Homo-oligomer: A and B are copies of this chain.
């Protein structure tokens, strides 16, 4: 039992913290941070700052110039990066690229790695992951997948709509999940370079959140032809398994980054509680406010412990399915509570964009939905309990 953070990770965390505070936070009012996320132009400028700071790319494997961080290492570093929502953008450890890098590292063949992974890992490109579909397709239940991939010569023809595809606009390539047969669980992943006229971005959707570069798009695949070497992994029933390879740790890195944002919101609320007065004393001298700060601290503390524990399991090689579900539910709900309380403590200023808390609040609300809404995880966890599969 050892909760100490190794010194080199403490140092890394401090470096990232300084970088975020000095180089990134000043950009939070940059108009290029649009309602559809930061523009690529802003992203590239921030990436440049990260390079100057010697932190780009830091989280990928050493072969691509990174530090080859463990899951626990990421827990420490991504929390620090998330102190500004632009931090992970600047440091190239944001979704969906961060998860796509891991997926490609585990499943791609050497040629695919060279063509897709290497430039992505080095931060030269962006990517997207196309699983979710509009009703009645794959949503919380990926088994409802409707996009089809029909064999065609040495390749496939893909047809079907995708939806809420983060980062599609501007991505250099897509990983697309499609049905390659009629049986249950038939799902294959395909790689395709972008732009491609048959991968038609119909709309960048207006959403509650705004931290993903490229926003979230609806996409129509209309006769998208891919060659046989576009298959990621195997054709057939493994698509969902690969998606899990991506999703379980990806859920956890989301928790890490948003935990950083929750801490930011809490710090801003704390500052306000110290300086703003009401009814003859600082807000923080009112228990109605200070109890919220105490609850924030507890939620932050507990969320961090949940993340660390799951990261430790993943580092041991455990799949940590139940634990990453628990961490996702607990963290997404705790982080949302912290954002909500922080906004409430701020009062009037909380509902304005004068502080970043307003954005954090919207962002953390959306996190309770994506990567599996709380209800899907509770349903899966409840089943595990009943079937005696929690351990």
Bitwise, A272-310 to B at CB < 8 A (1) or not (0) is 011111110010111111111111111001100110110
| Interface contact A344-B373, CB-CB below 8 Å | yes
Pair A297/B381 contact, Cβ less than 8 Å: yes
A32 to B259, CA, bound (A): 36
Q: Tell me which residues across on chain B come within 8 A of A313, comparing CB atoms.
A: 3
Known contacts A289-B375, A290-B383, A351-B365: does B1 contact A277 (CB below 8 Å)? no
Residue A190 is within 8 A (CB to CB) of chain B in the complex:
no
Neighbour of A270 across the interface among B3, B323, B340, B385, CB < 8 A: B385
Interfacial residues of chain A within 317-370, with CB under 8 A of chain B in the complex? 322-323, 326, 329-330, 340, 343-344, 347-354, 358, 361-362, 365-366, 368-370
In the complex, are the beta carbons of B293 and A386 less than 8 A apart? yes
* Tally of chain A residues near chain B (CB < 8 A): 93
CB pair A386–B287 under 8 Å, yes or no, is no
A382 near B205 with CB under 8 A, answer: no
Asked if A301 and B326 sit within 8 Å, CB to CB, the answer is yes
Query: Which chain B residue has the least Cβ–Cβ distance from A368?
Result: B344
Secondary structure of the A contact surface, majority rule: helix
Are B278 and A302 within 8 A (Cβ)? no
Choose, from A90-98, A132-140, A171-179, A222-230, the stretch at the interface: A132-140
Q: How many identical chains are in the complex?
A: 4
CB-CB under 8 A for A140 and B278, given A2-B1, A288-B375: yes
Given contacts A72-B1, A293-B386, A302-B302, contact A207 B351 (CB under 8 A): yes
| CB–CB A390/B347 < 8 A | no
Q: A370 — which chain B residues lie within 8 A by C-beta?
A: 348, 351
Besides A164-B348, A293-B381, A347-B373, 12 other CB < 8 A contacts? Answer: A3-B313, A132-B348, A135-B275, A143-B279, A207-B351, A287-B287, A288-B375, A288-B379, A289-B375, A298-B381, A301-B326, A362-B362
A-B contact pairs, 24 of them (CB 8 A): A1-B4, A1-B6, A1-B72, A1-B308, A132-B348, A135-B349, A139-B348, A205-B354, A282-B386, A286-B287, A287-B287, A288-B291, A288-B379, A290-B378, A291-B379, A293-B382, A293-B385, A294-B329, A297-B326, A298-B381, A301-B326, A343-B369, A347-B373, A351-B369
